[in-house]
Chain A
Amino acid sequence: MNPDETADGESATRDRSHDGSPHGRVVLVADRDPAVTDELAAVLRERFTVRSAYDSADALASLDPDVSVALLDAELPGLSAQRVVDRVRTDDADCQIAALADEPVDVESTAFDDYLLKPVDDDRLTETVERLSQRATYRTTLEEFFRVARERANADGENRDRLDRRLSELDDSLDDVFRSLDGPEAYDAALRELDTDP
């Protein structure tokens, strides 16, 4: 279903902590104009693993926990950002979503995290996906940090030592990603609630 995905076996070897290396990060592109989808996918393929989708059914089928950034046509029939969020954002995985839009989007009132105005500038495209990918990594790592901290609180002996080491690794990963985010962006990535849509 995803002939565009180039990294074979990616999901099997995926590090649950999302270590931030470019190869673990899958980007989904879905514009209602197939030519636009292909064009954006070609630019992004230089840095990311890319999946292309040409309609909403395709897009939904392509979504799994490996997708950390989705670029979705705001006008694609049958596909809302909220539907994507409901599908892919769980405790273990995060997907940051940018709208491909013809006019500016008030992201606060939608489930979108950002938007890109069409026609999309190449540099802006790469930069936006890079930033959203960092946000997704931050959110996911932070979630695991909390889960392990919770687990550690109830553990003892060797188990606790093991969890302490895991926490230390996660802490380092969080520090790495945090460097690329400013304060407000970090709070937003960490905490923004997305069940705001009716």
Chain B
Amino acid sequence: MGGNSGDIAMSTNPDDSGSTETPLNVLLLAPTVGGHEDEVCRELLHGPGEREHALLVTCMESPAERLDVWTDHENGRSENATVVDVEAAARSTVAATAGTDGPPNAVVESVDPETDLVGLGDVIDRHLSALVSEGEATVCVHSVSDLLQRAEERAVFKFLEVLTSTVERAGAVAHYHMNPDVHDPETIETFEVLFDSVVDLRTANVADE
């Protein structure tokens, strides 16, 4: 990860015997305050492979906010993105309609509020397959913490095991935001086994404050 935001400490999981140079599924532990979450997210999304097709899963933040993180403002490139909006109904209508001013080549799908994790998985799977057929795909899940507001820990854990497996099979890369401030350490340690590596922004040497 030779980006200009400095070295990101990647700790590889002890149980990951078949580690590769580029971890496919990364847990991004981003605290509420500081940590340059957006910069690191952008770096993980684009990655070393210059991936151009993004699947952005969002819960509490609006699709426009997530698209803003993905869009490469510096180079002004127009890039493909699909947003799966999990909690559209929970946000205000103002915030929801703000999602329409994203880049013209962005697709936003709002998930029906009644949808369970099986249904959400199907929606993600459909979009991931479509993006992978167009080229190198990259996935951002924002966030595991929000999913844990929706469903119990056991179900979210299983959901993420299936999702990380489908990402790996599709040849995509993905990262998953989780806010360590709102969970006990046991929950973080339980979930970290699902991922190839963990980026902890509480300790990472990302550009000084």
Contact = CB atoms under 8 A, between A and B. Distances in A.
Interface of A: 142-143, 145-146, 149-150, 152-154, 164-165, 167-168, 171, 174-175, 178, 183-184, 186-188, 190-193
Contacts of A154: 186
Contacts of A165: 15
Contact of A171 (B15, B118, B169, B186): B15
Contacts, number: 74
22 contacts: A146-B157, A146-B158, A149-B190, A149-B191, A149-B193, A152-B190, A154-B186, A164-B14, A167-B193, A178-B162, A183-B125, A183-B129, A183-B166, A184-B122, A186-B162, A187-B162, A190-B159, A190-B162, A191-B116, A191-B117, A191-B118, A193-B116
Nearest to B193: A149
B118 A187 contact: yes
Which of B17, B121, B155, B161 has the largest count of A CB atoms less than 10 A from its CB? Answer: B161
A188 B118 contact: yes
Contacts of A152: 189-190, 193
Interface in B115-174: 116-118, 121-122, 125, 128-129, 154-155, 157-159, 161-162, 165-166, 169
Q: Is the interface of B mostly helix, strand, loop or mixed?
A: helix
Which 6 residue pairs spanning A and B have beta carbons closest together? A187-B121, A183-B125, A153-B189, A153-B186, A168-B15, A190-B158
B98 to A, nearest CB: 30
Contacts of A183: 121-122, 125, 128-129, 162, 166
B203 to A, nearest CB: 18
B169 to A, nearest CB: 7
Interface string B36-60: 0000000000000000000000000
Contacts of B116: 191, 193
A184 B121 contact: yes
Contacts of A190: 158-159, 161-162
Contacts of B169: 178
Interface string B173-209: 0000000000001110111011000000000000000
Contacts of B161: 142, 145, 174, 190
Nearest to B191: A149
A191 B121 CA distance: 10
B48 to A, nearest CB: 25
